[in-house]
Structure 1
Amino acid sequence: MSGWRTRLVNSLALTQDIPESRFFQLATQSPDGQLHNRTVVFRGLDETQDVLYLVTDTRSQKCLDFQCNRRAALCWYFAHSREQYRFSVTGEVCTVHSHESLCSDYWAQLSESAKSQFFWGEPGSVRENPEYPLKIVTPPTQIPPFHFAVIKLTVRNADYLSLTGNPQIRERFELQNGQWICQPILP
């Protein structure tokens, strides 16, 4: 197991009861060169590969961005442990059509309220009657809708920073010839 992965698993275990520890920022670039940064929900870490997972709607901006440029960056801060992770990743949008089993597995893990968000309409479209709350719709089936997707973020390099103690710890992890190399660096 790579050093960054060991650290991340420990950070997640330490903060498992803190809901905000499941959120990180994902930055992508659109076909016209615009940068887009948003907060997303961490859904899992592959047990055998250096892959982080999140779920999304294929009609969202991030899916459009990944069609043009699969490279992205993410930043994850754990306030409780004062640790920051920055990753350079390659994203792959896995749809119901291309990865049916993967999508079905992640769909089954979602709460009913999370599932209902996929039936509100197209992300980014004009909201009719904004004065009324969005309805929680019971999904008509346990099968994910055609626009549900899982995004696989394959980690290409990592930067870890611990802000506790003196000296602070910062490490850069790079994949070289299939092996993760750790280099201590100045914070």
Structure 2
Amino acid sequence: MSLPPWRAVVRGARQREGRSPGATWLQLATAASDGTPRVRTLVFRGWSAAGELELLTDVRSDKPSELLSQPRVELCWLFRKAREQFRLRGTAVLVSAEQEPETLLDHWQRLSPSGRMVWAWPSPGEPFHSQGPWPQEVSDDEPISAHLLIMRIALDRVEQLDLKPHPHLRRCWTVQDGWSEQRLNP
């Protein structure tokens, strides 16, 4: 499978970002069941074998039910140092441990012990109770959390806005056009 041309552009922006903590953070926009927008920041976890963007989520959060009723999403990935923004649009699918146990286990093992902690916390969005449990780490020998899901996004549109040149460079790739590049006004 050949990679779409925009993948190299994203990789270049990520490399220019260096070890910045925000280099893997992107914002996910979904629609709630009442039609109102929801935006939250997630961590980029890689690309699937089929080239889909992978994120992790908690089955207890609102995202799974939102995605079941409306799987179309848009992501915004801002690289501050590189001065580039990407808007990625596509369709999300949730993948559980029952569907792909090895893939979920691989993601779980790649998380640091402190990165795993949120899946051991109480349900996201529920009223806060100080007694928790609020572990600061989940050790390597702990089994994979039953709350972990992969969110796979099959992208069909990618836009880049590069703020460095004058005028700014804005371009778009769509799957329906075979990922050919189209230059847009910034």
TM over 0.5: yes
Structure 2 gaps, min length 5: none
Contact 1:25 1:74 in 2 (8 A): yes
Residue number in structure 1 paired with 2:129: 128
Match of 1:38 among 30, 37, 40: 40
SS in 1 for 2:153: strand
- Call closer, same or farther: CA 1:137–1:176 in 2, change over 3 Å: closer
The share of aligned pairs that are identical, in percent, is 27
Look up the match of 2:115. Answer: 114
- TM-score, structure 2 length as denominator? 0.91
Give the match for residue 95 of structure 1. 96
Instruction: Say what the alpha-carbon RMSD is for the aligned residues.
Output: 2.0
Structure-2 residue corresponding to 1:173 = 173
Which residue is 2:83 aligned to? Answer: 82
Residues 11-51 of structure 1: per-residue CA shift (max 9 Å, x gap): 112224111111011000122212110011111123x5331
Which string of whole-angstrom CA distances, capped at 9 and with x for unpartnered residues, describes residues 133-177 of structure 1? 933243584431211111111111011110002122110111126
Is the Cα contact below 8 Å between 1:82 and 1:162 reproduced in 2? yes
The question of whether the paired residues in 1 share the 8 Å contact of 2:105 and 2:144 is answered with yes
SS at match of 2:88: strand
Q: Distance in 1 between matches of 2:134 and 2:101?
A: 28
Cα distance in 1 between the residues matched to 2:146 and 2:139: 13
Distance 1:184 1:147, change over 3 A: same
**2: CA distance, partners of 1:111 / 1:152:** 21
